[in-house]
């Protein structure tokens, strides 16, 4: 049997809610941004072709060079790679600490929770049901995170947590099976002036 594993770049939406200095949410509406990554196209034939009864004694080899460049030595070189500490948001787990990227809201750079970092995952939830719009997904994701983020934020020392970060797929990502929601508490997302420096309580 042939097994194929493909790493999919998430099509993601992010909602950020900022807390005021006293730990309460401002009246401002969450900001959100989306990022599109190429959707994977993968097809596996239902039947494998049968091998010919005679195998040629000489197997042709690929040329070492082709017009315009060198033939890649492996398939991995055909796909973009992430730095060792970077993961798509939907691969984060509860308790993971990470930095965010303004330009790549679906990516997270994993960090030690005892070193400066932007946010920590409080809960990973899963969306269920039918959602045809990004607005419906945002509402459902926010509902999954709201109570746990409020309870956890209330336990933190004053001034440490300044907002929440809810990362969820947009409608395109949801259609291809990305259904995780990462509910995180954060320092100053996007500003970089404050960082969390230890695990949340």
Look at residues 154, 167, 196 and name the one whose alpha carbon lies nearest to residue 19: 154
Q: What are the distances in angstroms from CA 93 to CA 65, 117, 184?
A: 43, 15, 10
* pLDDT for res 15: 67
- Location of structure tokens 């939406």: 13
Alpha-carbon torsion (196, 19, 28, 180), positive or negative:
positive
Instruction: Give which of 114, 82, 76, 67 is closest to 95, Cα–Cα.
Output: 114
Q: Residue-wise pLDDT tens for the chain (201 aa)?
A: 333 333 333 455 666 665 555 555 443 334 343 333 433 433 444 444 444 445 444 444 444 444 444 434 343 333 344 456 799 999 999 999 999 988 887 899 999 999 999 999 999 999 999 998 999 999 999 999 999 999 999 999 998 999 999 999 999 999 999 999 999 999 977 666 789 999 999
Q: 82: closest CA among 95, 101, 96?
A: 101
Angle at 198 between CA 193 and CA 201, to 5 degrees: 115
Q: Which two tokens stand for residue 37?
A: 């990554």
Residue given tokens 């969820």 in the structure block: 168
The CB-side HSE value for 51 (13 A sphere, CA atoms) comes to: 4
Residue 96: name the closest of 118, 115, 113 by CA.
113
């Amino acid at each position: 049997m042939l097994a194929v594993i493909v790493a999919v770049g998430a099509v993601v939406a992010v909602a950020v809610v900022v807390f005021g200095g006293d730990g309460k949410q401002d009246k401002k509406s969450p900001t959100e941004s989306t990022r599109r990554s190429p959707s994977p196209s993968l097809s596996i034939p239902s039947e494998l072709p049968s091998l010919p009864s005679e195998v040629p004694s000489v197997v042709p080899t690929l040329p070492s060079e082709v017009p315009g460049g060198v033939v890649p030595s492996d398939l991995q070189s055909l796909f973009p790679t992430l730095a060792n500490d970077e993961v798509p948001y939907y691969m984060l787990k509860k308790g993971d600490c990470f930095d965010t990227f303004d330009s790549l809201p679906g990516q997270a750079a994993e960090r030690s929770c005892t070193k400066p970092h932007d946010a920590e995952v409080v809960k990973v939830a899963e969306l269920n049901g039918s959602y045809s719009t990004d607005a419906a997904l945002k509402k459902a994701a926010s509902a999954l995170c709201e109570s746990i983020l409020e309870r956890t934020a209330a336990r933190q020392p004053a001034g440490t947590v300044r907002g929440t970060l809810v990362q969820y797929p947009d409608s395109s990502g949801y259609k291809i099976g990305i259904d995780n929601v990462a509910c995180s508490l954060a320092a100053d997302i996007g500003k970089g002036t404050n960082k969390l420096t230890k695990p949340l309580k």
